[in-house]
Homo-oligomer: A and B are copies of this chain.
Amino acid sequence: MLTRMDVIQDFWSSLEARDWERFGATVAADVTATWPQSRERVHGRDALIRFMAEFPGDWHLTLDEVHADDTGGATRISFTVDGETVPGVTFFGTDHGLIASIVEFWPEPYEPPPGREHLLERY
């Protein structure tokens, strides 16, 4: 029996491996994936596999942080494509041990607002 932690880690490792059979086994048939920043949504395992398989570029990912509990979990990844690496943040809801909902964010760099330099350091 796979734990939720196993399923979430398998989601990413099978995606990096382009192992669509193993990837498909981590998600429910009626999984939904949502990207709130662009207000995009994919419904269903087959559509999600196709979305991932068609994603352009020679992309690679590494899993930086993962948490999992009784209701799902969350991860931070580093996603590299065309020599550029960006962070990705993903929340997972699980149902009967499979990933049933995905909510994903791609945060972009921004300049810090003025007036808080005395409280912060830059790195």
Copy count, this protein chain: 2
**B67, A119: Cβ atoms closer than 8 Å:** no
Q: Count how many chain A residues have C-beta atoms less than 8 Å from C-beta atoms of the other chain.
A: 44
Q: Which of A48-68 contact B (CB under 8 A)?
A: 50-51, 54, 56, 65, 67-68
Contact (A119, B74) CB under 8 Å given A105-B105, A110-B108: no
The reply to whether the CB of A41 lies closer than 8 angstroms to some CB of chain B is yes
Instruction: Specify which of A40, A43, A51, A106 lies most central, judged by the most chain B CB atoms within 10 Å of its CB.
Output: A40
The reply to whether the CB of A1 lies closer than 8 angstroms to some CB of chain B is no
A122 to B37, CA, bound (A): 11
Contact (A105, B87) CB under 8 Å given A37-B110, A67-B68, A72-B67: yes
The reply to whether the CB of A23 lies closer than 8 angstroms to some CB of chain B is no
Closest to A93 in B: B65
The reply to whether the CB of A112 lies closer than 8 angstroms to some CB of chain B is yes
Which chain B residues border A110 with CB–CB below 8 Å?
37-38, 106, 108
Closest Cβ–Cβ distance, residue A73 to chain B (whole Å): 5
Q: List residues of chain A with CB under 8 Å of any chain B CB.
A: 5, 34-43, 47, 50-51, 54, 56, 65, 67-69, 71-74, 76, 87, 89, 91, 103, 105-112, 115-116, 119-123
